[in-house]
Structure 1
Amino acid sequence: MAGPSSGGANPINVINDTPMGARQFIVVILMVLLNALDGFDVLSSAFAAPGIMEDWGITRTELGVVLSAELVGMGFGSVILGGAADKYGRKATMLACLAVMAVGMYMASQADGVTIMTVWRFITGLGIGGMLASTNAVVAETTSKNGRSLSMAFYVIGYPVGGVIGGFAAQEWLLVQYDWQAVFIFGAIVTALMIPLVLLLVPETPAYYAARRPADAVAKINRSLAAFGKPPIEELPALKETGPKPKATDILGDAKLRPITLLLAFGYMAHTFTFYYILKNAPTIVALAGFSPAEGASSLTYANIGGAIGGAIFGFFLKKFGLKGPTIAALLLGVGAVLYFGIGHESLWEWRIAALLTMFFLNAAIVGYYAAFALSFPAYARASGTGFVLGVGRFGAAGSPIVAGALFDYFGNQEVFIVSAIMSAGSVIAMFLLWIMPIRDADEEALKAELAEKAET
Structure 2
Amino acid sequence: MHSDTIDVNDELSDAPVGAMHIKLGILLALMTLFDGYDTFNPAYVIHYVRGPWHLSLQQAGLLISSGLVGFLVGAAVHGAIADRFGRRITLIAGLWITTVFSLLTALAADSFASFCTLRILTGLGLGVLLPLSTTYINELAPRRVENTFALWGVALGWATGGAAAGLVGVFLTPYAGWQGLYWIGSLSILLIPFVHLYLPESPKFALLRGRESEVRDILAKLRPERAHLYRTLSITTTPVREKTPFLALLAVPYRGLSVSIWLASFLSLFCIFGLSGWIPTLMQARGESFGASFGFGALMQVMSFVGGLICGRLVDRTGRPRFWLCAWWAAGALAVLMLVLLQSHWADLVCSAMAGFCIIGAQFVLNNFTAAAYETHMRATAVGMELAVGRLGAILGPFIGGALQQTFGGTHAMLLAIVAAAAGAALSVRFATKSIGCDFDSRGEAQDASASTSAVERLHRKAVATSSKAV
The alignment's TM-score, normalised by the length of structure 1, stands at: 0.89
Q: Whole-Å Cα distance in 2 between the matches of residues 397 and 157 of structure 1?
A: 20
| Structure 1 residues without counterparts, runs of 5 or longer | none
| CA-CA distance at 1:342 after TM superposition | 3.5
Does residue 1:195 correspond to 2:192, yes or no?
Answer: yes
| CA-CA distance at 1:103 after TM superposition | 1.5
Aligned positions of 1:22-421 closer than 5 A: 22-109=19-106, 110-154=108-152, 155-172=154-171, 174-189=172-187, 191-213=188-210, 217-228=211-222, 229=224, 231=227, 232=230, 234-237=234-237, 239=239, 245=242, 247-249=244-246, 251-322=248-319, 323-343=321-341, 345-347=343-345, 350-411=347-408, 412-421=410-419
Which whole-Å deviations, capped at 9, do the CAs of 1:126-184 have from their partners, x for residues lacking one? 11111122101111111111221211222224322211223223212x12322111011
Q: Whole-Å Cα distance in 2 between the matches of residues 52 and 82 of structure 1?
A: 35
Change (3 A) 1:436 1:117: same
Tell me the amino acid that sits aligned with residue 336 of structure 1: L
Task: State the partner residue of 2:462.
Answer: none
Secondary structure (helix, strand or coil) at the match of 1:55 reads coil
| CA-CA distance at 1:371 after TM superposition | 2.4
Change (3 A) 1:83 1:6: farther
Change (3 A) 1:89 1:253: same
| CA-CA distance at 1:238 after TM superposition | 5.7
Of residues 379-388 and 295-304 in structure 1, the stretch that sits farther from structure 2 once superposed is 295-304
Question: Does the CA-based 8 Å contact 2:244-2:378 persist in structure 1?
Answer: yes
| CA-CA distance at 1:391 after TM superposition | 0.2
Identity percentage of aligned residues: 22
Question: Does the CA-based 8 Å contact 1:250-1:381 persist in structure 2?
Answer: no
Question: Does the CA-based 8 Å contact 1:331-1:428 persist in structure 2?
Answer: yes
The alignment's TM-score, normalised by the length of structure 2, stands at: 0.86
How many residue pairs are counted as aligned between the two chains? 438
Tell me the amino acid that sits aligned with residue 148 of structure 2: L
| CA-CA distance at 1:346 after TM superposition | 4.2
Q: Whole-Å Cα distance in 2 between the matches of residues 220 and 157 of structure 1?
A: 29
Q: Whole-Å Cα distance in 1 between the matches of residues 53 and 110 of structure 2?
A: 8
Change (3 A) 1:253 1:210: farther
Which whole-Å deviations, capped at 9, do the CAs of 1:175-210 have from their partners, x for residues lacking one? 232211101111111x21221121122111111112
Q: Whole-Å Cα distance in 1 between the matches of residues 45 and 289 of structure 2?
A: 12
Change (3 A) 1:448 1:235: farther
Question: Does the CA-based 8 Å contact 1:105-1:187 persist in structure 2?
Answer: yes
Question: Does the CA-based 8 Å contact 2:43-2:276 persist in structure 1?
Answer: yes
| CA-CA distance at 1:73 after TM superposition | 1.3
Change (3 A) 1:188 1:416: same
| CA-CA distance at 1:447 after TM superposition | 12
Q: Whole-Å Cα distance in 2 between the matches of residues 203 and 402 of structure 1?
A: 39
Secondary structure (helix, strand or coil) at the match of 2:234 reads coil
Q: Whole-Å Cα distance in 1 between the matches of residues 181 and 97 of structure 2?
A: 17
Which whole-Å deviations, capped at 9, do the CAs of 1:85-141 have from their partners, x for residues lacking one? 111111111111111101121222231111111111111111111112210111111
| CA-CA distance at 1:261 after TM superposition | 1.4
Tell me the amino acid that sits aligned with residue 10 of structure 1: D
CA RMSD across the alignment: 2.7
Secondary structure (helix, strand or coil) at the match of 1:56 reads coil
Question: Does the CA-based 8 Å contact 2:256-2:431 persist in structure 1?
Answer: no
Tell me the amino acid that sits aligned with residue 167 of structure 2: F
Tell me the amino acid that sits aligned with residue 358 of structure 1: A
| CA-CA distance at 1:315 after TM superposition | 2.4
Change (3 A) 1:246 1:41: closer
Of residues 256-265 and 156-165 in structure 1, the stretch that sits farther from structure 2 once superposed is 156-165
Q: Whole-Å Cα distance in 2 between the matches of residues 238 and 138 of structure 1?
A: 18
Question: Does the CA-based 8 Å contact 1:50-1:293 persist in structure 2?
Answer: no
| CA-CA distance at 1:403 after TM superposition | 1.0
| CA-CA distance at 1:62 after TM superposition | 1.0
Which 4+ residue blocks in structure 1 deviate beyond 6 angstroms? none
Question: Does the CA-based 8 Å contact 1:324-1:368 persist in structure 2?
Answer: no
| CA-CA distance at 1:290 after TM superposition | 4.0
Question: Does the CA-based 8 Å contact 1:343-1:414 persist in structure 2?
Answer: no
Tell me the amino acid that sits aligned with residue 42 of structure 1: T
Q: Whole-Å Cα distance in 2 between the matches of residues 234 and 447 of structure 1?
A: 27
Question: Does the CA-based 8 Å contact 1:10-1:447 persist in structure 2?
Answer: no
Tell me the amino acid that sits aligned with residue 36 of structure 2: G
Question: Does the CA-based 8 Å contact 1:8-1:237 persist in structure 2?
Answer: no
Q: Whole-Å Cα distance in 2 between the matches of residues 12 and 238 of structure 1?
A: 10
| CA-CA distance at 1:75 after TM superposition | 1.1
Of residues 137-146 and 230-239 in structure 1, the stretch that sits farther from structure 2 once superposed is 230-239
Q: Whole-Å Cα distance in 2 between the matches of residues 181 and 273 of structure 1?
A: 26
Change (3 A) 1:49 1:312: same
Question: Does the CA-based 8 Å contact 1:67-1:280 persist in structure 2?
Answer: yes
Tell me the amino acid that sits aligned with residue 78 of structure 1: A
| CA-CA distance at 1:262 after TM superposition | 1.5
Change (3 A) 1:239 1:163: closer
Q: Whole-Å Cα distance in 2 between the matches of residues 48 and 445 of structure 1?
A: 51
